[in-house]
Amino acid sequence: MSKSILKWAGGKTTLLPKIKVRLDKISNKENAIFYDLFAGGGSVSFEFSSLFKHTVLNDINKEITDLYKVIKSNPLELIEKLLEYQQKHNKDFYYKIRSLDRDQNYKQLDGITKAARTIYLNKTCFNGLYRVNSKGQFNVPIGRQAKIKIYDEMVFMEIHKKLQNIDITNHDFNYLINNNVPKPGDVVYIDPPYDKISDNSFVEYSTNGFSSYDQERLAKDVKTLTERGVYVIVSNSYTERTKKLYAEFFDKNSIIKVRRLIGASVSSRNQVDEILVDNIKQVKENVNKNKKT
Ligand SMILES: C[S@@+](CC[C@H](N)C(=O)[O-])C[C@H]1O[C@@H](n2cnc3c(N)ncnc32)[C@H](O)[C@@H]1O
């Protein structure tokens, strides 16, 4: 099983075997393109990219997509920088690195320094949270761990190799769907920020968050893809809204108990129900109907 480079809220490592069961029902994957539209920590892309002709890893968070671009092209320089950060790690260093995005020259900073900062903060901040303020500045305090290991060279090089057959894009999920990019027979994995169970559950991954309106336009896109003959697998939290939005896709294995690994507080790490649904049956039925007519 692929290890990830980042601790990411909603990371899908524990769900991978269940996603694999669904992918196994799809034939001809070696000729299909796999779209991971909300890639986050990337565990799904890295685990399954070898089953497909090609993979597109997308996320709206540019810091993550830029990081993957650096690992794809410059892993050794990045590892060198991470080693330096690991050796220098202490409270003052943490806040010095965290404050880089408050500097007006931050945008001009080289890609390797920015990527190293993203990993370093992710591995040393409180609970691996990703949270930015309204200006897009990272604002999570330092974590409590005494010893840190911010990277594993073997994992890095493994992911570097996998990225050679992965395109990295930075769009709102709707962009690729709207532009008719996934074609019939392609496979789209959708893992949006969780639909909110309560108002204080953790769903902030970017400055804009993900609203109930976003959940609804996403479900509409799933319908569009189904009509287009594109296979879709969706995970989300199990709420009244997701139950309604994905009702037609539920099967007997769609409600899953998953222990969330990252929460804003210890109490929000409790076990919660999630959903995993797919449209494979509907797409196959449509294909058969079209063959008959
Ligand atoms: C639940 S996480 C994905 C976790 C990922 N599957 C993993 O295994 O780590 C949701 C991701 O969606 C991204 N996101 C939020 N809004 C988005 C949007 N409108 N379009 C694309 N990605 C978005 C966030 O940046 C975040 O990385």
Please compute the mean of the pLDDT values over residues 265-284 and round it to a whole number.
78
Provide the pLDDT confidence category of residue 115 given band limits of 50, 70 and 90: very high
C-alpha 248 to ligand 1 mean position (Å): 24
**Could you give the 3-state DSSP secondary structure of residue 80?**
helix
pLDDT attached to residue 8: 84
Residue 59 CA, closest ligand 1 atom number = 22
pLDDT attached to residue 208: 55
Q: Are 38 and 18 in contact (CB under 8 A)?
A: no
Nearest residue (by CA) to ligand 1, atom 17, is: 60
41: left (phi over 0), alpha (psi -120 to 50) or beta: alpha
d(CA 94, CA 88) in angstroms, rounded, equals: 9
Q: How many residues does the chain have?
A: 293
Please compute the mean of the pLDDT values over residues 15-29 and round it to a whole number.
97
Q: Count other C-beta atoms under 10 Å from residue 266's C-beta.
A: 8
Provide the pLDDT confidence category of residue 271 given band limits of 50, 70 and 90: low
Strands 54-58 and 166-169: parallel
Q: Decide: 191 in ligand 1 pocket, CB within 6 A.
A: yes
Structure tokens at 149: 């290991």
Q: Decide: 56 in ligand 1 pocket, CB within 6 A.
A: no
pLDDT attached to residue 206: 45
Residue to probe by mutation, ligand 1, list 65, 205, 272, 275, most atoms within 8 Å of CB: 205
Q: Decide: 43 in ligand 1 pocket, CB within 6 A.
A: yes
Nearest residue (by CA) to ligand 1, atom 6, is: 39
Which residue in 31, 9, 3 sits closest to 192, CA to CA?
9
Structure tokens at 54: 């090609």
Q: Decide: 11 in ligand 1 pocket, CB within 6 A.
A: yes
Q: Decide: 173 in ligand 1 pocket, CB within 6 A.
A: yes
Q: Decide: 128 in ligand 1 pocket, CB within 6 A.
A: no
The number of C-alpha atoms within 13 Å of 27 and in the hemisphere containing its C-beta is 2
136: left (phi over 0), alpha (psi -120 to 50) or beta: left
pLDDT attached to residue 260: 59
d(CA 130, CA 97) in angstroms, rounded, equals: 15
For the chain, list the domains and their CATH numbers.
13-61+170-292 (3.40.50.150), 67-151 (1.10.1020.10)
Q: Decide: 35 in ligand 1 pocket, CB within 6 A.
A: no
C-alpha 209 to ligand 1 mean position (Å): 10
Task: Identify the sign of the CA torsion 14, 17, 23, 29.
Answer: positive
Residue 174 CA, closest ligand 1 atom number = 20
Long-range contacts of 128-136 (CB under 8 A, 24+ apart): 128/6, 128/7, 128/8, 128/9, 128/262, 129/9, 129/202, 129/262, 129/264, 130/8, 130/9, 130/61, 130/204, 130/205, 131/204, 132/204, 132/206, 132/207, 134/207, 135/207, 136/101, 136/207
pLDDT attached to residue 263: 46
Q: Decide: 232 in ligand 1 pocket, CB within 6 A.
A: no
Tell me the pTM: 0.91
d(CA 291, CA 249) in angstroms, rounded, equals: 23
Q: Are 189 and 19 in contact (CB under 8 A)?
A: yes
| Least confident range of 112-121, 162-171, 202-211, 274-283 | 202-211
Provide the pLDDT confidence category of residue 264 given band limits of 50, 70 and 90: very low
Q: Decide: 205 in ligand 1 pocket, CB within 6 A.
A: yes
Nearest residue (by CA) to ligand 1, atom 13, is: 38
